[in-house]
């Protein structure tokens, strides 16, 4: 095993650690949302510093590999993919931090009826599953798993599109619940953005393994490529 191979293995291991932390943040955000656990929400916000620290470290590791080893072919694509995935993970951490801040601002637990009709919990679970799948795809270098993410994102998009009308109808009949309803709508928007980050990471995994660029292609094209 060459020195470059060792450095690439280390880079992958560090990326997986960051990914695991972000996924844990996402799960904690869900629990804090459903139980209105403000202490857990504060924990998510404080832990975002660790995500930021990981991002800076992975950036430096990638830069060092470029400078010291001048990787080519699949090795180059791998380092480029990690560099971009690192940014996607940091953004995902920021989104989860935003969800936690919404939880801190809400005075009362979210109406169970509102959670049900908006399908917010289902959406959160789908976002969790997407992030877990894309991590598995990265770990196992499995582009089949990566492509599943493109189709899973349809659910998030559907819930997000319908949320405006559902929340508008709800607040007309529940004028005393306007604030939490608007917070929940904002959380739905953020969950849709997490789906976008997962898709971006899936594209990078396929890029480094198969040397195929899937940006700007339709979901059907991506899943069939």
Closest to 22 measured CA to CA, from 194, 199, 202, 203: 194
> What is the CB neighbour count within 10 angstroms for residue 91?
18
**Is-above-0.85 flag for pTM?**
yes
List, for residues 129-181, the tens digit of each pLDDT value: 999 999 999 999 999 999 999 988 999 999 999 999 999 999 999 998 999 99
Mean pLDDT in residue range 199-222:
79
Domains and CATH numbers, the chain: 3-224 (1.20.58.220)
pLDDT at res. 25: 97
Phi first, then psi, for residue 34 (nearest 5°) are -75, -30
Is residue 98's pLDDT more than 70? yes
Is residue 214's pLDDT more than 80? no
Mean pLDDT in residue range 187-215:
92
List, for residues 45-92, the tens digit of each pLDDT value: 999 999 999 999 999 999 999 999 999 999 999 999 999 999 999 999
Residue 119 near residue 164, CB atoms below 8 Å? no
Distance separating alpha carbons of residues 86 and 82, to the nearest angstrom = 6
């Amino acid at each position: 095993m060459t020195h470059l191979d060792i450095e690439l293995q280390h880079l992958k291991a560090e990326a997986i650690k960051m990914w695991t932390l972000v996924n844990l943040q996402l799960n904690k955000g869900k629990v804090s949302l459903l139980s209105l656990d403000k202490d857990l929400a504060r924990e998510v916000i404080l832990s975002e510093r660790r995500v930021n620290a990981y991002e800076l470290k992975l950036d430096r590791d990638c830069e060092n590999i470029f400078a010291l080893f001048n990787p080519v072919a699949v090795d180059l694509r791998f380092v480029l993919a990690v560099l971009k995935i690192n940014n996607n993970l940091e953004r995902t951490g920021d989104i989860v931090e935003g969800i936690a801040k919404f939880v801190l601002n809400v005075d009362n637990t979210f109406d169970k009826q509102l959670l049900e009709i908006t399908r917010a919990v289902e959406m959160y679970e789908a976002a969790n599953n997407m992030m877990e799948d894309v991590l598995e795809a990265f770990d196992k270098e499995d582009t089949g798993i990566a492509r599943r993410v493109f189709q899973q994102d349809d659910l998030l998009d559907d819930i997000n599109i319908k949320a405006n009308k559902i929340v508008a109808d709800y607040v007309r009949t529940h004028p005393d619940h306007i604030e939490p309803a608007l917070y929940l709508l904002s959380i739905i928007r953020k969950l849709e953005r997490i789906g976008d980050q997962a898709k971006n990471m899936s594209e990078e995994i396929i890029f480094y393994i198969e040397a195929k660029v899937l940006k700007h292609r339709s979901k059907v094209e991506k899943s069939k490529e």
